[in-house]
Structure formats: structure tokens, C-alpha cells
Amino acid sequence: MELIRSKASGFFSNFSVPRWMLFSHDTFAVYITFLFAYLLRFNLIPSGIPVASAAFHGLITTLVYVVFMLIFRSYAGLIRHTTLTDVSLVFVATSSSAIILILLSLIFRSVPLNQNFVVPISVILIHYVVITVFLFSMRISVKMLFRFATSSIKIPTKKVLLYGAGEMGFIVKRVLLSDPRGGFSVQGFIDDNRHLQGKKINGIHVYGPEILSPDFIAAQKIETLILSIRNISQTKKSEIIRKAIDINLEVLETPAMEKWLNGHLDIGHFRKVKLEDLLGRDPIKLDMELIRKGLAKKTILVTGAAGSIGSEIVRQLSLFSTYYVILVDQAETPVFLLENEMRKDFSHMKFKTLLADITNAEKMELIFQTYHPEIVFHAAAYKHVPLLEGNPHEAFRVNVGGTRVLINLSVRYGVQKFVLISTDKAVNPANIMGASKRLCEMLVQSEAMKDGIKTQFVTTRFGNVLGSNGSVIPLFKSQIENGGPVTVTHPEISRYFMTITEACQLVLEAGFIGKGGEIFLFDMGEPVKIVDLAVNMIRLSGYEPWKDIEIEFTGLRPGEKLFEEVLSHKEEILPTYHEKIKVAKEEHCDFKNEVIKVIEALHDIYGISDSEIIELFESLVPEYKLSKEEVNGHYLSQLNVEAK
């Protein structure tokens, strides 16, 4: 018996019947059982059977059955995992075929046609019973053999709860329980529907969300929660995930049905939830018509196109019927990778990748002269705060000088729309990077206020982007993979976060809301504590913070704030028609004198020392000096506390 079980187990491990083979089997079975039905009709006396008619009627019958097997896809299920649904589809297909054959037989009897087309109704009925019983028996026998083959396999099981007791939950349950090699044991469903709570589905309890508690999870030794629910809002999804990881549950997600391989869900399809799922924000509703009209048949220039923000802007542009997209970046390898991605995934777009430094006025003028862009998305910038603290000249030359070059060229070559990608670090900046971006905003606003300027200059300002190059997320991920410690500068430090997709979608929308001179702010939700981010990333990776992976606090770095701000002291916030987009209105924004100083400084940027360039930033951005002093004072006091 064990030898038979072992052989059967090996067969099921190595082979899986494809759908075309099951379809061929069922088709052949229909024809053979029809001939057998004829034999039964003639009392098992072969000599009494009209062989030619039987063979012809068998072909007619098989054709009808094939049509209904294709309609109801009765061959599509995995035989070893046959369910009531699969058996029902077989029954519907055979019953429909028999009914149609009887109707055709009656019709052909009543019209003056060749009577060879008339299939005996008695044979049709006998065949219907035989083929239905045969197909049922075959499927159930294979399933029983599979259970027999796998019943002695002892695999450590992971106890799971399924969130969602609807159709998707039933499918997930079936997949998990049908293959013991998956190592999952379903302990219950969780559902918000009070009518389902307290009941059982196939013998499995349905609970309410309140069981997601440490006591229940510990008592039942639950290890994993699988989200098996359709049409759930991001806010609700985030709430469930947070609750689960807080009680040390692994959280897996069921992919959308269109992502299932060949239309079938498999254990390998379940994936761990991502950090983005914890943001808890519902998808952004865009005014697609406004964006479509703004981008239609336009030549668009994207600077910093190979960076995180720039490349995502390009991906968003691929959804619209642009004329030509010019992708500019100075980083060779990222440009190479971007071009490969464009050729592979966005071959429908007409684009050109160019290696160019935005501070090189001659090179950039050649680009404007050659392609005459109508819309400019300016995402190129140096952005790493600690690095720019030690390289203030480069912050001024690239961030400020590059923006100045692009502004001048946009006016000269009649660009219709110029969109600057800024940052919340430009608000009351406490570091060189923030001060340089604030200067960029001032340059853009100053140009927008000039008389006779036809270019619409717009600024978009948002916070940290999850997963962008050099952000805290890749750093934490690397530290976790290396076993820790995960380093956080301060236990109270917090930041606003958006996904790259969210940020770039809002950039597009704001770009076409703006008429010129506005600074648009995005609703980034609530600020997130960086230590909470670290804790969640560790738990999502399957570890326990401070037990498996240590978290260390290293102290605030120079120029680093505890909290980022949305508005400066001189600004007020105004609404737009889009609930997630606001306008920052400044009381006084005549930056003529500052612009003149910027132009003068750019002529001899390396002729002054580090301290002089910092003093220049302080004179051009007064709020920088004040904020820097406040932050540095906090930084020094923090070091003193830690030293004690």
C-alpha cells in the first residue's frame, strides 16, 4: 500500500494534466460513450446496430458537446482539486448538450430533410446518463487518488486566517487546502459582514475583525493573515495590515484575478504586502480629460528623466497621446537602463534619450533649438541633504544654476508650461539642499510675475517619496537584509511620505491646473515617524524589532529637522477643485533683488569659499538662516544629552 501511495505521490508531483489534454479526453469520451449508448439501446447485440448511422450520429453528438464544453469551460479545472463548482460545470455542459440534441432531433423529424440527421432520442438520453456519470466518476476518482497519495505526507503547517469570506475567500481556501505541500492550515475566516459571523463555511468558522487580538492569535497559534477580499479601500486595507503586524502576524495578499497564471490561483501567487500598502490612501482621482488635453500632441522635455521622479513622470506620460518626449539626464548608466525600459515597455511612445548636464547652457540650448519642447517637467536636482551640506557650491551650481538655465531657455523658445518639482524641505529650510530648492522656487515665481511672459511657470512641492533612489526605504531594506542594525537618527523624527506614482500623478494634474506663479502642495496624509517605518519594515520582512533586528538611534545630522513643514511663515494655504491639491499663497513675492544676486554669483561660483556660499544662501533665503540656527541648536543640545 505504501509503495502504491509513493508511486502515486511521485506521479502527482511530476505531472499535471494540461487543459487541452483534459478537453481532448472529454471529447473522446463523449464519442466512445455514445457508441456504447447505441450498443445499450440494442440490448448489447452488435449485429443490430446501424454502424454507419451510429458513427455519424456520434459525430453530431460530439460536435454539440464540444460547443457546450467550450462555452462552460468544464475542462478548465484541475482534476486533482475538483470541487462542487467543477462538477456543476460538467453537469450543466452535459445537460445543455442533451437538451439541444433532443430539440434538433425533434426539428429534423418534422422537416423534409435527410433522416440521417435524426439522432434517436432514446440513445441521446442513455448517452446523457452514461457520459455524465463517467465524467463525474473520473474527476472524483482522480481527486480521491490524489488525497490517498498525499495523505501520509507530513509537512509542518502554518496556521492562517483569511480576511474575507466571500467568493475570493472561498477560492483562496480551496487553493490552500487542496495542496498539502503548501504547508498552510486554514483556521478561520474574518469578515466584516455580521450575517456571516458565527457561521461556518465548509466547516471553517467565520469570525469578526475583533479576533485580531494578541490573546486569540497566541491561543490559536496563528502565524499568517491572508487578505482574500476584492474591492477593499486602501484605507481599510492599511488598517487591517497595521493591526496584523502589530500582533506579529505575517501578512500575505491575494493578487488581482487578471494576474493569475492561466486564470488559476496558485500558492506561489501570494505575496507579502508592501510598505506602500501601509500608507492607507485611496487611489487618486485625476481629471484625465484635463491632462489629456494638456498633453495631446505635445513635445515634452523631462529633466532628471532617469531618476526616481523623472522616470515615473515618463511612465505616466506613456498613458497619454504625446507627440514626442525628450528625456534628459547626465547619469550614463541610469539613462542606459531607462532607454532599455522605454524600448521594452513603452515602444508606442516617440522618445529621445539625451545625455546632458542642465547647467551646460550651450548643450541645453541645442536641445531646445532642435526639439522645441512645449512642456517642461524639471525634476533634475541634487537632493541628498548630508552630501550637499558638505558641497554647497554644487547645490548652488546644479539646483539653482540649472533651474536658471532652463527658465531662460523656456522663455526664449516659447515653452507653454514649465513645471518645477520642488520639496517640502524648501519650506523654512534648515539645510543647503532645502535652501537651494527654495531659491529655485523664487526664480520660477519671479519669472512668472514678469510682464509679457507667455510661459506658465508652476511649482509643485511634496515630501519624501517611498522607494526613491537614496531614500530611507532602500537603506532600511539593505540594513535588514544584512541582519541590522537599522539606524534612525532620532526617536521623534517624522516625515511626510508619498508613493512615486501618487506624487507624479499629482504633478501632472497640478501642472495643468496652474496658470502661472502658483506653488502647489499635495495632501500627503499624516506624517510618519521614521522609527515606526523601521519597525514596520522589519516586521514585514518577517523579523521582530529589537529582538531579531536591532534599531539604533544615531542622533540628528547637521541641517536635519525633527519635523518637515508644509508652509512657511509667510504663506497661507488655498484650496483648488482637487481635494488633494492646495495652493501656497505668499504675502510678498517680489524676488527681483534675489534673482540679480543669483545671476551675479553664478558667474564666479567657485571664486568664493564654502562659508561665503553659505552666507550667500542665508542672504538670499532669510528663513534659511533662522531655521538653521534653530535646528543646529536642537542638534547640539541633543548631542549633549546623548553624551551625558
Which positions are catalytic? Answer: 425
* Alpha-helix residue ranges (DSSP H) falling in 206-330: 214-220, 234-246, 288-295, 308-317
The three-class DSSP label of residue 643 is helix
Nearest-angstrom CA–CA distance, 333 and 311: 14
Residue 140 burial by CB count (10 A; 0-12/13-18/19+): exposed, middle or buried? middle
Report helix angle 308-317 to 332-345, nearest 10.
20
> How many Cβ atoms from other residues are within 10 Å of residue 331's Cβ?
16
Cβ-Cβ contacts under 8 Å for 169 (sequence gap 6 or more): 162, 163, 189, 191, 201, 228, 229
Residue 265: which of 336, 168, 342, 407 has the closest Cα? Answer: 168
Residue 66: which of 37, 35, 116, 25 has the closest Cα? Answer: 25
Residue 245: which of 221, 278, 207 has the closest Cα? Answer: 278
Could you tell me if 130 and 116 are in contact, meaning their C-beta atoms sit under 8 angstroms apart?
no
Cell numbers 540650448 correspond to 365
Whole-angstrom CA distances from 151 to 78, 155, 180, 309 are: 18, 11, 8, 53
Nearest-angstrom CA–CA distance, 374 and 453: 14
Alpha-carbon torsion, ordered 609, 612, 617, 618, to 10 deg: 150
> How many Cβ atoms from other residues are within 10 Å of residue 22's Cβ?
19
Residue 217: which of 187, 197, 254, 184 has the closest Cα? Answer: 187
Could you tell me if 583 and 521 are in contact, meaning their C-beta atoms sit under 8 angstroms apart?
yes
Buried b (16+ CB within 10 A) or exposed e, 141-172: ebbebbeebbeeeeeeeeebbbbbbbebbbbb
C-alpha cell at position 517: 506663479
* Alpha-helix residue ranges (DSSP H) falling in 413-499: 432-448, 472-481
Buried b (16+ CB within 10 A) or exposed e, 503-526: bbbbbbbbbbbbebbbbbbbbbbe
Nearest-angstrom CA–CA distance, 487 and 500: 23
Residue 464: which of 505, 426, 423 has the closest Cα? Answer: 423
Residue 302: which of 265, 346, 256 has the closest Cα? Answer: 346
Residue 591: which of 612, 623, 620, 617 has the closest Cα? Answer: 620
Nearest-angstrom CA–CA distance, 518 and 553: 39
Could you tell me if 379 and 423 are in contact, meaning their C-beta atoms sit under 8 angstroms apart?
no
Nearest-angstrom CA–CA distance, 397 and 439: 12
User: HSE of 292 in the Cβ direction (CA atoms, 13 Å)?
Assistant: 5
